[in-house]
């Protein structure tokens, strides 16, 4: 592993381990998720000027009006998505810089990720290629439409706030699967939707703050 991956000083493995310990203290209980976060160098997904802040529990700008979510919310959403069980195939809406897709790749068998902003997807592709994650597939597209050709998915995770749950995505959720997304406009909450034999079961969790989920491509 290169110095860029392993990091030095504020981007070292020791700093990453301290981040994981803080997440544990904040209430993240899923050790599979914590172990995945411990293996992914978050600093390679942000601009070099911000690398020293990569392991703080804050969101950081990644360009094009987008942010990399803070480590707690990444851990929390994946913990909810897993629900204590294994995940086969996951769809992520909003690749962003690629960090969450990289963490998911350590947990799920297959990860598909859709990003509407082409230059952002290009940067994510480069960072993920550096980590040699063979089970991640990226696509430039409209997240509202999901990825019908690769579905159904055992898990769907949306990294931007929707005002309503996109119907296309509900249809792409496999029976027994879970979707986790921020929902709302001025006030947002994390929502988990489970597909059961009887239909969809929804429950709202804690308050969150995300950029809005937009339609179309850019």
Strand, helix or coil for residue 179: strand
Q: Which pair of tokens denotes residue 53?
A: 């802040």
- Check 6, 12, 52, 69 and give the catalytic one: 69
Q: Are strands 173-183 and 60-63 parallel, antiparallel or unpaired?
A: unpaired
Q: Is 186 a catalytic residue?
A: no
Instruction: Look at the block and give the residue holding tokens 């995505």.
Output: 169
Q: Tell me the C-alpha to C-alpha distance, in Å, between residue 119 and each of 4, 62, 189, 216.
A: 22, 11, 29, 15
Total length of the chain: 218
CB neighbours of 145 closer than 8 A, spacing ≥ 6? 166, 168
Query: What CA–CA distance (Å, rounded) separates 155 from 195?
Result: 10
Which residues carry out catalysis?
Answer: 69
């Amino acid at each position: 592993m290169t110095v860029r991956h392993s990091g030095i000083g504020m981007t070292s493995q020791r700093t990453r381990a301290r981040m994981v310990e803080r997440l544990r203290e904040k209430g993240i209980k899923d050790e599979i998720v914590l172990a995945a976060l411990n293996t992914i160098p978050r600093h390679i997904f942000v601009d070099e000027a911000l690398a020293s802040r990569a392991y703080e529990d804050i969101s950081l700008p990644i360009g094009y009006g987008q942010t990399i979510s803070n480590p707690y919310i990444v851990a929390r959403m994946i913990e909810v998505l897993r629900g204590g069980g294994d995940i086969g195939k996951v769809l992520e809406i909003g690749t962003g810089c690629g960090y969450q897709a990289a963490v998911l790749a350590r947990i799920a068998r297959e990860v598909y990720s859709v990003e509407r902003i082409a230059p952002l997807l290009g940067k994510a592709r480069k960072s993920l290629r550096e980590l040699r994650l063979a089970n991640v597939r990226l696509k430039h597209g409209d997240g509202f439409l999901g990825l019908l050709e690769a579905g159904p998915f055992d898990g769907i995770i949306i990294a931007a706030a929707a005002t309503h749950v996109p119907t296309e995505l509900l249809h792409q959720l496999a029976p027994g699967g879970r979707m986790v997304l921020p929902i709302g406009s001025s006030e947002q909450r994390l929502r988990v939707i489970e597909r059961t034999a009887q239909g969809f079961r929804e429950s709202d969790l804690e308050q969150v703050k995300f950029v809005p989920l937009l339609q179309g491509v850019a």
